Amino acid sequence: MTAHLKVMSAGPSMSIQDLGREGHLAYGLTRGGAADRLALHEGAALLGQSAACAAIEMVGIGGTFEATADTVIALTGARMVATLEGAPLVWHACHSLPAGAKLVIGGVQSGNYGYLHIAGGFDTPRHMGARASHLNAQIGAPLQRGDALAFDPTKSARAGYFLSPDNRLQGGVIRVITSFQSDHFSSETRERFARTAFRRDPRGNRQGVRMDTDAPGFYAEGGLSIVSEVITTGDIQVAGDGAPYVLMCESQTTGGYPRIGTVIPSDLPKVAQAPVGGAIRFEFISHDAAIDIEKRARREIKSLSSQAQPLVRDPHDIADLLSYQLISGAVSASADPFAR
């Protein structure tokens, strides 16, 4: 049995994403997948399902949706204004979505990439082992008005739970390790890089995010004649103009501009979600320290589902919990009930 989530209106950059596809680097195709992978794990924890389930990634602005069967949704990643039949919905939480009810997801209040998950995940076509759109590689397409995304209505999930994620929507200190091209930059240049105050440039997308600064550019010694080498997600590539770019999930697979270092995986969501103009600083840490941090981050991801809390303390006392606007209103002080 199949039901559909109908897209009644769509922002310009909504796409289906999952954890991406591995195994195609040799053929020039990077993994892709969600720009904020942690948000996929959070949605999965809220709905009690696998993080491999596909969700809708919304960049900056969402859309209007209706389901053809009762289901449960979760909202994670960048905080966005959301209403169900006009009543505000708490972000970082899961909610019942009755058939035919109008779900409106407006603009971001904080961050860049918001996610709309559904119980059981979206059952959209797989290409080469994943459902993720990889727009640079012309796999998949942005979602648009009139699309109907299949899901399995027999998959149910508990509704009315929330998570309190670590704040990763404001930029801040990004931890970096050296990689195989770091020593193309002098130690003075690397130290200056680590001291420099950057701002997230408006030029940023799923391919890479440019870092802006008033400081002079960062140049490698003999910089522009380096043979093209593999690029990995998180690499900080310094382009010809001396400006660093953090390369993201849809980057090219190889590149000739040298990489000064690599953002550790667990800090990549912070880069993806940093607001335009948001302050960024890079801190070099040792490989051993990075491995410890990643091990801890993986343990935390595993414990996410046990961290989900009920939206109210005693839901048994209320017959039709989510029809009460005061509940979500009480939890979300920042939601704008008048938006859209």
Partner 1 sequence: MTETPVISTVGLSGLLISFGSGMSEPANRAALAFRTVLEAEDWPEVSETMMSLVSVFVAVDLVDTPAEQLREKLTDLLATRDWYGAALPGGRHLWHIPTVYGTDLAPQLQEVAEVAGLDPQEAIRQLSTARVRVLTLGFAPGQPYLGELEEVWNIPRQQDLTKSVPTGALVTAIRQLIIFTAPTPTGWRHIGQTAFRNFVLGDSNPFALSPGDELTFPAIERAAFDKLSRTDRFGGAEKEVIA
Say whether residue 244 binds partner 1 (CB under 8 A): no
Choice from 254, 303, 323, 334 touching partner 1 (CB under 8 A): 254
Choice from 4, 8, 13, 25 touching partner 1 (CB under 8 A): 25
Which residue type, as a one-letter code, is found at position 313? R
Q: Give one word for 253, left, alpha or beta, with left for phi > 0 and alpha for psi -120 to 50.
A: alpha
The distance of closest approach from Cβ of residue 37 to partner 1 in the complex, given in angstroms and rounded to an integer, is: 14
The distance of closest approach from Cβ of residue 55 to partner 1 in the complex, given in angstroms and rounded to an integer, is: 21
Tokens describing residue 330: 């009480």
Q: What DSSP string runs through 93-114?
A: EEEEE-TTPPEEEEEEEEEEEE
Residue among 23 and 100 whose Cβ is closer to partner 1: 23
Residue among 142 and 315 whose Cβ is closer to partner 1: 142
The distance of closest approach from Cβ of residue 322 to partner 1 in the complex, given in angstroms and rounded to an integer, is: 39
Say whether residue 262 binds partner 1 (CB under 8 A): yes
Q: What DSSP string runs through 35-65?
A: SSHHHHHHHHHHHTS-TTS-EEEEESB-EEE
Cα–Cα distance between 321 and 316 in angstroms, integer?
Answer: 9
Say whether residue 227 binds partner 1 (CB under 8 A): yes
The distance of closest approach from Cβ of residue 302 to partner 1 in the complex, given in angstroms and rounded to an integer, is: 14
Choice from 17, 124, 179, 273 touching partner 1 (CB under 8 A): 179
Residue among 217 and 240 whose Cβ is closer to partner 1: 240
Residue among 201 and 229 whose Cβ is closer to partner 1: 229
Scan residues 265-304 and list those touching partner 1 (CB under 8 A).
265, 287, 290-291, 294-295, 298
Name 75's bridge partners. Answer: 93, 116
Tokens describing residue 318: 């209320």
Site string for partner 1, 132-161 (x = CB under 8 A): ----xxxx----------------------
Asked if 305 and 48 count as a contact pair (C-beta separation under 8 A), the reply is yes
- The number of residues that bind partner 1 (CB under 8 A) is 38
Which residue type, as a one-letter code, is found at position 218? F
Query: Which letter does DSSP use for residue 271 in this model?
Result: H
Burial class of residue 259 (count of CB atoms within 10 Å of its CB; 0-12, 13-18, 19+): buried
Residue among 63 and 250 whose Cβ is closer to partner 1: 250
Cα–Cα distance between 83 and 328 in angstroms, integer?
Answer: 10
Other C-beta atoms lying within 10 Å of the C-beta of residue 69: 17
Residue among 138 and 187 whose Cβ is closer to partner 1: 138
Give the binding range for partner 1 (CB under 8 A) out of 24-32, 159-167, 207-215, 329-337: 24-32
Residue among 22 and 212 whose Cβ is closer to partner 1: 22
Say whether residue 164 binds partner 1 (CB under 8 A): no
Query: In Å, how far are 64, 96, 246 from 101, measured between CA atoms?
Result: 10, 10, 40
Is the sign of the CA dihedral 208, 214, 217, 218 positive or negative? Answer: negative
Note the residues at the interface with partner 1 (CB under 8 A). Answer: 22-29, 127-128, 136-139, 177, 179-180, 225, 227-230, 232-235, 252-254, 262, 264-265, 287, 290-291, 294-295, 298
